[in-house]
Structure 1
């Protein structure tokens, strides 16, 4: 009989009680009018924080046991469960290091949730730009030496915040950056949303193993977990006492038990000991598809300047003389739904749950590719280095208006604008927009922008 994970055991015990559910949610464990349906079983497990099922922000029972199991798996001093995705974990990480008027050295390739959290917390970012080492107009990696230079020039920062892997699977040198942060006694925060499986590479490429102080994993992106399931790992004990309280500042007081149960069940999947082999197989399939794509004339991301996560197949779109939308339709005609398609790149995300038939569809798509390449290299998309004219927080909360991009020169942005790729925001709130920024935004198809009144 399969071993029950902590939270599943607690919820099953509650269901066995067959109690009259005079508590949330309103469906009381049934679909409307108690009609049979394939989702009926899920409704039974969608409960609230009843006695015996623990409470997320005061975890001391089943949820705490689940968190402790994840901490053991990932080698963290403490791990917190999130039903609010990596967004909630990012908000918590930044809240744990925040101080009034604080500065954070941050990679410019960060997610919008981090920008929003900094605005809410009154943090001011000092930007480090990726080094474009991935080629083909992509953002590339964050250089340890660039981090060192900013730490030398800014002695009052409260953290370094980086995102790796990025949306395209490009990995920065976390270990090198962590050593520099330790030398300057500054905590390293890592958005590892796309890399929860990196723990199971040999050797591990997970940020906790590479020296990060705080790190978030979006389990649902690559592991068999429902959307919104995530983990916050803490390696530095100084942040443990306040972690739950900081998370509760941003998180819902009604966390989804279905999401948390899916995280809990993932423990059993990991403990079977097959995860490494399964992800090795995924990487092998993706590498084989990449070779097929290259033989057909697709331009690939460059790996020679650093490591990559090979659970993503990233295909060039720009060198075929068709739009990203047309490329996406070609994929769908072959029964393939991509994660993302822009006018430059298409991203296909794989996991062990993709069966052989999924890969064979991509093979057939590539074998049938019949367009000649019309362009050898992607146009350079270097992001202009704009100067801040207001604090991030002031700009976000200031009265604003939408204006045509061509009329925004000299104005102060009040929102982030991030055409993708390269996945690096061209404009951040509080920055003064210049002619180079306008030119790049128009090239990327951005026609309007929100600016401070």
Structure 2
């Protein structure tokens, strides 16, 4: 059978399986929902019937030989990769697989410090050593940017034994580094390029958007299809070029990925890929149009700054992802997280996140014009009701880290718990981060400074959701003994 992008092999196999009326003497124990009628009625009978176990007609995610293999082949073709792997442990698993594939204990990896926690978690597990490239910082917006090519080149020349360079493409805010130039540099020095494209699915299908990692020649890319591609939450793709071994990557995935792959997640990846391959250009044009319209209207309100491609400077803001509706709020005296809370509590509008100076709304073709208008109107009313003098507000959210010892060594060292306000000058033994976006304020092995402590206190005061510490109240922090 000749497969095309019109096919969806997992979906087609599941439909055939459902028609067979197979007697369910395997797991899952809910038996198509009959064991738990409340769950069946809530999620729908078809959903529960599709929640099945691996079997010969449906293939096996750990070692695919039929329909999953076909679906992954079609995904690779659609995304311009040599290989694609279905990931059901979230893009966290894809990011960690990239690092585990390219690095062993003691190996160096060059990366921006504003990476997602999943990347630093990978270092804790495998023992690789980070060489951080501090991102640029926009003084007006206070946000971390991309990596400058000259800073990456400096890191490569100073660490010629590094195994890989990791690139955010794009950042949470929509900022892209010059990934093509970074790929060229890294490959000239024998290093792999890994791309965290958790927020970049649309780069593969939209027109006029920044370059995707595979198009730039990267070796591996972790792509959150569920974020902007239309699949179910926790489903993702890992894309690879022919520079890495398909079999070895599969072995690495199978170290941590579940042996009970969810067919609900896999069929959503299969159908999302089909939809993107056939309709992606049109879908992402609609998303850009919505975001561009909202940017223009929000900037008419005053007080807010919905930033876009005007920021591009050919360096640490090499390109901007115009599907991202990022809005600066600090100029009207409100932290982004305060606007986030007001939107949800008073206007029933749930946006992606708010930090100390900005908010991010995720816009897709699944939105409606009325909802975009409602968001714009709510921001206008919030400005009228809540704006105040911005003096005394934090003007930046990124603080350059001081790395004293590697993350793995710090995390597994002897530690003691101390009141966080008494930890100045000590070495952190755990994570502290605001979630979302999940970029660590402190990572294991980094020196705790007064600037960082002031920032954490400010985040607490403004209502940011802080995570990562053993103490769920974030009153105490684990520090390395004898630090």
Change (3 A) 1:287 1:140: same
Q: What is the DSSP-based 3-state SS (H/G/I as helix, E as strand, rest coil) of the residue aligned with 2:25?
A: coil
Q: Does 1:289 align with 2:303?
A: no
Secondary structure, counterpart of 2:176 in structure 1: coil
1:450 aligns with 2:478: yes
Aligned position for 1:438: 453
Q: Distance in 1 between matches of 2:400 and 2:18?
A: 57
2:259 aligns with 253
Instruction: Say if 1:443 and 1:429 are closer, same or farther in 2 by CA, change over 3 A.
Output: same
SS at match of 1:58: coil
State the SS of the aligned residue for 2:163: strand
Shift of 1:157: 0.7
Whether 2:321 is the aligned partner of 1:321: answer no
CA distance in 1, matches of 2:379, 2:98: 42
2:308 aligned with 1:304: no
Matched residue SS, 2:390: coil
List gaps (5 residues or longer) in structure 2.
461-473
TM-score (norm 1): 0.92
2:65 equivalent to 1:65: no
Where structure 1 has 5 or more consecutive residues not aligned to the other structure, the ranges are: none
Q: 1:3 to 1:189 in 2, by over 3 A?
A: closer
Over 3 Å counting, the alpha-carbon distance change for 1:184 and 1:357 in structure 2 is: same
Could you tell me which of 101, 109, 113 is aligned with 1:108?
113
1:28 positional shift: 1.4
Larger mean CA deviation between 10-19 and 63-72 belongs to 10-19
The structure-2 alpha-carbon separation of the partners of 1:206 and 1:34, relative to structure 1 and needing over 3 Å to count, comes to same
Map of 1:370 onto structure 2: 384
For residues 398-413 of structure 1, the aligned pairs below 5 Å read 398-413=413-428
The one-character-per-residue Cα deviations of 1:320-340 (angstroms, maximum 9, x if unpaired) are 334555423432333311111
1:347 counterpart SS class: strand
Contact 1:419 1:441 in 2 (8 A): no
- Whole-Å separation in 1 of the counterparts to 2:245 and 2:7: 31
Is residue 237 of structure 2 the alignment partner of residue 223 of structure 1? no
For 1:103-144, what per-residue CA distance to the aligned partner results, in whole angstroms no more than 9, with x for missing partners?
Answer: 111111111111111111110101011111484111011111
1:266 paired residue number: 272
The 8 Å contact of residues 216 and 231 in structure 1, kept in 2 or not, is answered as yes
Residue correspondences, number: 450
Are 1:416 and 2:431 matched, yes or no?
Answer: yes
Mapping 1:34-53, distance limit 5 Å: 37=41, 39-53=44-58
1:197–1:175: structure 2 CA closer, same or farther, 3 Å change rule?
Answer: same
Per-residue displacement from partner, 1:74-127 (whole Å, max 9, x unpaired)? 110111111111111112111111223111111111111111111111101010
- 2:61 matched residue in structure 1: 56
1:356-367 mapped onto 2 (5 Å cutoff): 356-367=369-380
Matched-pair contact (CA < 8 Å) for 1:134–1:140:
no
Write out aligned runs for 1:159-308 (5 A): 159-202=164-207, 205-272=211-278, 274-297=279-302, 298-301=304-307, 303-305=311-313, 306=317, 307-308=319-320
List per-residue Cα deviations over 1:348-372 (Å, max 9, x = no partner).
Answer: 1111111222212123224444155
Tell me, yes or no, if structure 1 residue 154 matches structure 2 residue 162. no
Does the Cα contact within 8 Å between 1:135 and 1:301 map onto a contact in 2? no
Change (3 A) 1:33 1:70: closer
| Cα distance in structure 1, aligned partners of 2:83 and 2:7 | 22
* Alignment match, 1:386: 402
Deviation string 1:155-208 (CA, Å, 9 cap, x unpaired) is 111111122211112112111211111111100001001101111123562111
